[in-house]
């Protein structure tokens, strides 16, 4: 068993994906985890899954982690602060300014509260989707404020490090502006794009490739949850969407008459601006390195993808990223492999020599 920084017990309120994953990760380190949930079924599943035990009289948690929907986060945090006056309380809500403001307005003891936000998740929710390694290598924001001391917040830092996450310190305002840009606005844009598909002819949808799937992937998210998130972080999201609308207007104006003087230049400048933005995204392990992709055709039969990955290893090339795309109406797929630029020629030659078909 791996040594833990936390002493425990840790009380986790909300046995969904995040709460169950926190419990599983801490149990792997031998921490006593107390689980609570408004749903007896969720609680029972999480306990059976090994994420912790049900609450008992006399529990005295060192730390409480509130993992409930954003619209009730402040209410539950306030309740936990009152019920356990010796505990430090944090939460995992995706907005940080609104809960702190509500707690302050309620007169809650915010000297024992500091908000957190792990930027981790899965396509499925609920306790059955929980994973002990969900947070490994993922950013976890601690949104500090003036009412809490560094000494009191150390338990939250220990929680994050014990779960293998990367601690990031931000103010609540910085956090909410940041997630508006990198998470909340992309959700809106993805949703609007996906709505264009509702009345699209099947003949057009059959042509869809990975680009469209990438743009619309998060549009499948839970509407009820996102109504809460967007409502709690409305102003930063609105500010970015207003600027985004200006960007769209420039494209629309340029495309009104593509042959007009300067129209193509405007389009090119907007596209180049997108290239510049993508180039700023951190690469693998946080490195700002660009990779080259090649697409390998893979038959849709058992063992083919495993063979491809094994042979890439035999060639001695490190796989930086992998993306799969199925070909509509054909029993094959495309494995888009990202490698360092200096390795692409050798890998292409070696794979071709082993009988793999390189697309393009």
Q: What is the pLDDT of residue 251?
A: 93
Bridging pattern class, strands 10-13 and 63-66:
parallel
Question: Which residues does the chain have with pLDDT short of 70?
Answer: 1-2, 123, 150, 283-290, 326-331, 360
Q: What is the pLDDT of residue 106?
A: 95
Burial of 291 (0-12, 13-18, 19+ CB in 10 A): middle
Q: What is the pLDDT of residue 286?
A: 45
Q: What is the pLDDT of residue 278?
A: 85
Cα–Cα distance measured from residue 28 to residue 187, given in angstroms and rounded to the nearest whole number = 34
pTM exceeds 0.85, yes or no: no
Bridging pattern class, strands 63-66 and 88-91:
parallel
Cα–Cα distance measured from residue 26 to residue 20, given in angstroms and rounded to the nearest whole number = 10
Cα–Cα distance measured from residue 154 to residue 140, given in angstroms and rounded to the nearest whole number = 14
Q: What is the pLDDT of residue 281?
A: 82
Residue 148 CB contacts under 8 Å (≥ 6 apart), including other chains: 110, 111, 112, 113, 114
pLDDT (tens digit per residue) in 227-265: 999 999 999 999 999 999 999 999 999 999 999 999 999
Q: What 3-state class would DSSP assign to 140?
A: strand
Say which residue the tokens 């068993």 belong to. Answer: 1
Q: What is the pLDDT of residue 285?
A: 44
Q: What is the pLDDT of residue 327?
A: 57
Q: What is the pLDDT of residue 283?
A: 63
Spatial strand order in the sheet of 166-170: 115-118, 139-143, 166-170
Tokens of 205: 């949808």
Q: What is the pLDDT of residue 147?
A: 85
């Amino acid at each position: 068993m791996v040594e833990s920084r936390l002493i425990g017990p840790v009380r986790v309120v909300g046995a969904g994906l995040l709460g169950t994953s926190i419990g599983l990760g801490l149990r792997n380190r031998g921490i006593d985890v107390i689980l609570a949930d408004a749903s007896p079924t969720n609680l029972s599943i999480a306990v059976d899954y090994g994420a912790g035990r049900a609450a008992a009289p006399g529990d005295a948690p060192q730390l409480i982690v509130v993992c409930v929907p954003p619209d009730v986060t402040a209410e539950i945090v306030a309740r936990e602060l009152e019920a356990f006056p010796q505990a430090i309380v944090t939460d995992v809500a995706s907005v940080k300014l609104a809960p702190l403001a509500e707690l302050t307005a309620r007169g809650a003891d915010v000297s024992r509260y500091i908000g957190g936000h792990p930027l981790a998740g899965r396509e499925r929710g609920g306790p059955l989707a929980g994973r002990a390694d969900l947070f490994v290598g993922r950013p976890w924001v601690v949104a500090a404020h003036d009412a809490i001391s560094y000494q009191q917040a150390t338990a939250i830092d220990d929680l994050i490090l014990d779960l293998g996450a990367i601690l990031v310190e931000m103010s609540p305002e910085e956090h909410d502006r940041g997630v508006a840009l990198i998470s909340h606005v992309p959700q809106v844009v993805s949703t609007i794009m996906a709505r264009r598909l509702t009345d699209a002819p099947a003949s057009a949808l059959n042509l869809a490739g990975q680009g469209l799937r990438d743009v619309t992937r998060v549009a499948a998210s839970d509407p009820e949850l996102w109504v809460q998130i967007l409502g709690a972080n409305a102003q930063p999201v609105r500010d970015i969407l207003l600027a985004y609308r200006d960007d769209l207007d420039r494209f629309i104006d340029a495309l009104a008459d593509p042959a007009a003087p300067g129209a193509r230049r405007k389009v090119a400048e907007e596209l180049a601006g997108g290239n510049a933005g993508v180039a700023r995204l951190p690469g693998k392990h946080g490195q700002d390195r660009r990779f080259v992709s090649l697409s390998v055709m893979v038959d849709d039969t058992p063992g083919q993808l495993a063979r491809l990955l094994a042979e890439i290893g035999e060639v001695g090339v490190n796989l930086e990223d992998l993306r799969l795309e199925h070909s509509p109406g054909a029993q094959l797929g495309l494995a888009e492999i990202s490698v360092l630029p200096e390795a692409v020629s050798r890998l292409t030659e070696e794979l071709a020599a082993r009988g793999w078909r390189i697309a393009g």
